[in-house]
Amino acid sequence: MKTKELQKLWWDWLGTSERLLHSLYEQTAALTLRDANRVERIQPELDRMLERIQEIDEAAAVCAKELAEELGTESNLRSLVQALDKTEAQQVQQIANRVTVAAKNIQHVLDKNKALIQSELDYVGGTITLIAKVASEQNGKYGQTTHAAVLLDQAA
């Protein structure tokens, strides 16, 4: 089997992606619950798995390029599949489809978590701005007479 190494790399990628997706869902829950300690505890694991997926991607790209050179074809999936026998081509195509779907799922959850983090940052920034505004009022309950400038966030 000519594609054994490439398939092995993709299976490793899929296993890592499953663990990554689980941790990303854990991060989503922590962000939703505003559990900063849990988010901080999860982050190193997420970083390691994202780095591992990147390493596997790079190794798979090198492997695919070498395989394409060996088969005398271009180093894209379509060309590789066309150059292989039918059974092996189907196996490679199926694993490639699974990797593609998993990558889209990971990207979706990453985007969702990024939006949650941005929303939380906007909320905190707005709250700080309101506190600064109230503190700068001289006649209010919390006002202080001061000549120091108070910086206000654009969110306000």
pLDDT in tens, 22-56: 999 999 999 999 999 999 999 999 999 999 999 99
User: Given this model, what pLDDT does residue 17 score?
Assistant: 96
Phi, psi of 149 (to 5 degrees): -75, 140
Would you place residue 134 in the very low, low, confident or very high pLDDT band (cuts 50, 70, 90)?
Answer: confident
User: Which of 56, 43, 58, 65 is CA-nearest to residue 15?
Assistant: 56
User: Given this model, what pLDDT does residue 2 score?
Assistant: 75
b/e per residue 116-153 (b: at least 16 CB within 10 A): beeeeeeeeeeeebeeeeeebeeeeeeeeeeeeeeeee
- State both tokens at 28: 């989503």
State how far the Cα of 18 lies from the Cα of 21, in Å rounded to an integer.
5
Q: What is the pTM (predicted TM-score) of this model? A: 0.77
Which of 101 and 83 is assigned the larger pLDDT?
A: 101
User: Given this model, what pLDDT does residue 97 score?
Assistant: 96
